[in-house]
Each structure stands twice: as structure tokens, then as C-alpha cells.
Chain A
Amino acid sequence: MGLPPDTGSRQDGLYAEAAATFGPALQRLARAYEPDADRRLDLLQEIHVALWRSFASFDGACSLRTWVYRVAHNVAVSQVIRRKSKAHTLVGLDELEAMPAAVDHEQMLDDRRALDRMMALVQQLDPLDRQLTLLYLEGLDAASIGEIIGISAGNVATKVHRVKKVLAERFRRGTP
């Protein structure tokens, strides 16, 4: 990439730290954006390459976590936009709240099945609501989510409340 050696080693170090800390979260993010296994691997590799390239200009103005998630979500969104014409229709939280929860709760027997259903639900969300839901599921607080996405913490809190409501309706114990 034509960088001076010292910049390159700092870049490599930052990347290695980010990959070690957030590698599993990036895998989950790729899974949430791309159901197809081969394309998911492509997306994950693209995220890692973008991350490594981005660390050439990392100045510490934000946390490593914010930096990593911004890069990862931006790469993923650009892929969604590139491939949207071929994809099924995405929906926002508004539509999802209005849709009946077509769930057979009796069959929600194990974690694997619950996870598959959660993944399917996340994958049908439009990019903004998907980012928000993913960051909530990763356990980030409203302020951090707001910093990554670029909306106010109050706005995040309102939306997270709705995300929780939708998830609760679809994952409620024992309700048909």
C-alpha cells in the first residue's frame, strides 16, 4: 500500500488488536448481512481488508471499537446497496412491528433454532435498523451505538426500545 515502514507496523498492530478483539463480532455481523456462505466469506474478507487499510489513518479520535464497527457496517451497507436489486425487499422496524409474528412458539425448542430465527429476522431489516439491532445484540450502550451510526443517544434509546419489543413478541416463552 506504499506506506512508510513505521506506519505500516502501527497499522498492522492496530489491525491485529482489532481482529483479535472484534473478530467474532465481525463474523456475526457478516452473517447478519449475508445469508449465502460464499458471499459471506467475501464480505468478511472485504471488511478485514477495509479495516486494515483504515488503520493507516487511525488517529485515536474515537475508540477502537467505534472505529471497527463503523468500518464494518459501512462496508456491509455498501454491499447491501450494490446487491439490493437482486435481494428480497427489506423492511424497517415500522413494518416489522406491524407484521404478524408468524411464529410457531411450540417449535422454538432450542438455541440453534432460536438463533436461526433471530438471524432471519435481522436479515430482513433495512440497513439502519439492522445496524441498530446488531449493535444492541452485541451489547453496546445507546451512546456508543449513536456514535457509530450517527444519530442521537435519545433516538437510539427509542429505537432500541422498539427492537426489544419486536424481539420479545417473537421470542416470548410458550405463547402461541
Chain B
Amino acid sequence: MTEPQDDRDLQALWQLQPRDGSTIALDLIRQMAEDLEYRVARRNRREYIAAAIAAAVFGWQMFALPSLLLRIGAGLCIVGGIAVVYMLHRSGTAPTLPSDLALTSALEFHRMQLERQRDLHRNALWWYLLPATPGVLVLEIGHILAQPERRSQLIVLSVVMFLLGVGVYVLNRRKAARIQRQIDRLEENL
């Protein structure tokens, strides 16, 4: 029946807490490192396959759609999709950690992680929304021209999609601002 009351008590209480079990064998560590690389490679493969399927669907539409405008729209969607995948990989969204973790202080590493996230949200317009916009826009106009009897429905759909895009943009900017406040707070400690 003890109760901590000073530095040493608290530190001793902390350091003497029971352990969770045995140590991790070196072979298991090696295996886990390999598994991690395999998981990252598998995730990348999944993204490429998804992009390839989307490109195949729009590629097929480039030949199957009735009007030139719709075909151009499908082509632009392919280009936009490729641009988004490229930008995602360039900005390093992979959940793997660098091997030189110990060369960066904890505060600096934390700041770098937050800055990466902030930039991803802050630039969502450029890497996410704008590349997708031309294709979608041209497809919508093409559909409206090709199906004049459904014009009002298609216009409503276009407005809804536009508002969704604006919503995504606003949410991303807000998120970026929130992360920036965290960065500012971290920097107060430097």
C-alpha cells in the first residue's frame, strides 16, 4: 500500500511497472521487416491495378461513346487519373517510415510529418480536384449536348458535383489550417 509523492517515487513507480512478456527474436524482426516491405509493395500494386482498371474503362469509352466530345472527356479522365496517382506517389503518402529516423530529433520529425500532411490537404485543389475536373466537365457537357431531353437532370447533377468539389476543397483547407496551428504550437518550443 504505497502512494507516490515525489519525483523518485513517481519515476520508480513508472520504471518498475510489470513487463508485457518476452523479447522479440531477431529472426522475427527480420521477418517483420520483410513483411512490411511486402505489404508496401502489395499496396502499391493495388493502387496501380485500380488506376489501370479505371484507365481501361475510360479507354473503352473513348472508342464506344457516340460523340467526339464524350471521347475527349474520357481521354481527359485517363490523363487526370494518371496525374492524381503520380502526385500521390510523389508526395509520399506511403505509410512506411524512413530508415534514418534516429538522425532527426523527435520535434523535427513530428513537424516534418505534420508539414507533409498539411501540404497534402492544402494542395488538394492542385493534385486531386483540378486534374479530375477537365475530364468530368467535358463528359458532362458532352452528355448534355448528346441528350438534350435530359438536360435539366444533367445540369442538376453537374451542380451537385461542383458543390461536392467545393466541399472537398473547403474541408481540406480547414484541415490544413488545423494542422498549421499544431505546427505553430510545436515551433513555439524551438
Binding site for B on A (CB under 8 A): 1, 12, 15-16, 19-20, 23-25, 27-28, 31, 40-41, 44-46, 48-50, 52-54, 56-58, 62, 66-71, 73-75, 77-78, 81-82, 92, 108-111, 114-115, 118, 127-128, 131, 136-139, 147-151, 155, 164, 167-168, 171-174
Contacts and interface: CB of A to CB of B under 8 A. Distances in A.
Interface in B13-56: 13-15, 17, 19-20, 23-24, 26, 29-30, 32-33, 36
**SS of B interface (majority):** helix
A50 to B, nearest CB: 6
A24 B110 contact: no
Nearest to A8: B30
Interface of A is mostly: helix
A45 B32 contact: yes
B20 A150 contact: no
Interface of B: 1-7, 10-11, 13-15, 17, 19-20, 23-24, 26, 29-30, 32-33, 36, 95, 97, 99-110, 113-114, 117, 185-186, 189-190
Contacts of A44: 20, 24
A118 B95 contact: no
A16 B33 CA distance: 16
A115 B1 CA distance: 13
Contact of A149 (B23, B99, B107): B107
A118 B13 contact: yes
A95 to B, nearest CB: 11
Nearest to B33: A49
A150 B112 CA distance: 13
B111 to A, nearest CB: 9
Contacts of A164: 7
Contacts of A139: 11, 15
A38 B100 CA distance: 27
B110 A77 contact: yes
A137 B99 contact: no
Contact of B36 (A25, A49, A172): A49
